[in-house]
Structure 1
Amino acid sequence: MANSVTKEISYEDLKALVGKSQNLFLVDVRTKEEVDKGCIPGSVNIPVDSVEAAFALEPEAFKAKYGVTKPPLDAPEVVFHCQMGRRGAMATNTAYKLGYVNARNYAGAYKEWTEKGGK
């Protein structure tokens, strides 16, 4: 596991960023069906199996497809999450391989977010 160093972000740190940080780029890697049942405010849905292709897109194509500006490789707060944590970790590792040096996984995931009353 030499090349899969997943940095993580806690619920408290993420909650402090949501809605307050201009730099936060929050990616929900769950399926559209899962996201339709609820999501963390401000998150962009890019299913885990699309992450590599999405982040390899040119900025104009990324914006056209996802409706948001593609974060630069050195973006300070690129956070991935899923329902339980595993897919978020996979997506974070993919982002690292593509050069996103500050990518982090919210390991508590949407499950923890809702349990702790994140709104």
Structure 2
Amino acid sequence: MADLTQEEWAEALAKDENAVILDVRTEEETDEGIIPNAIKIDIYKGQEFIDQVEALDKSKTFYVYCRSGGRSAQACAIMNQLGFTETHNLLGGFNDWTGEVTN
């Protein structure tokens, strides 16, 4: 797992053709908006979160975020334990995001 600043995350994401954006916030939080093209899987769903993550393509590079960076760091650690090798945590999370947002 790599902890990336907002700038590093956006720059790496823009260059990465193998990228998948993963939003691990709750549904209430994602209702406020999401980073475009993000897959939403709520980390608070426990085993359901693990089941949904395990269905993802482990060969992809995952750019993971939450509200402030804590839960996404946890999600990256869980994903690494499940065999994902490329996970990037967004430091500061959605709270500090200044890029594009969609509903």
Same fold (TM over 0.5): yes
- Count of aligned pairs: 97
Once the two structures are TM-superposed, the CA of residue 13 in structure 1 deviates from its matched residue by 2.3
Q: Provide the TM-score with structure 1 as the length reference.
A: 0.71
Deviations 1:16-70 (A, max 9, x none): 245664311110000111111111112111001343121223xxxxxxxxxxxx3
2: CA distance between counterparts of 1:34 and 1:101? Answer: 27
Which residue matches 1:105? 89
Which residue matches 1:118? 99
1:110 is aligned with what amino acid?
Answer: F
RMSD of the TM alignment (CA)? 1.8
Which residue matches 1:33? 28
Which residue matches 1:15? 10
1: CA distance between counterparts of 2:52 and 2:64? Answer: 13
- Gaps in structure 2 of 5+ consecutive residues: none
SS at match of 1:118: coil
Larger strand fraction of residues: 2
Which of structures 1 and 2 has the bigger CA Rg? 1
Q: Provide the TM-score with structure 2 as the length reference.
A: 0.81
SS at match of 1:8: strand
Moved over 6 A (4+): none
Which residue matches 1:96? 80
Query: Are 2:59 and 1:74 equivalent residues in the alignment?
Result: yes
- Gaps in structure 1 of 5+ consecutive residues: 1-5, 58-69
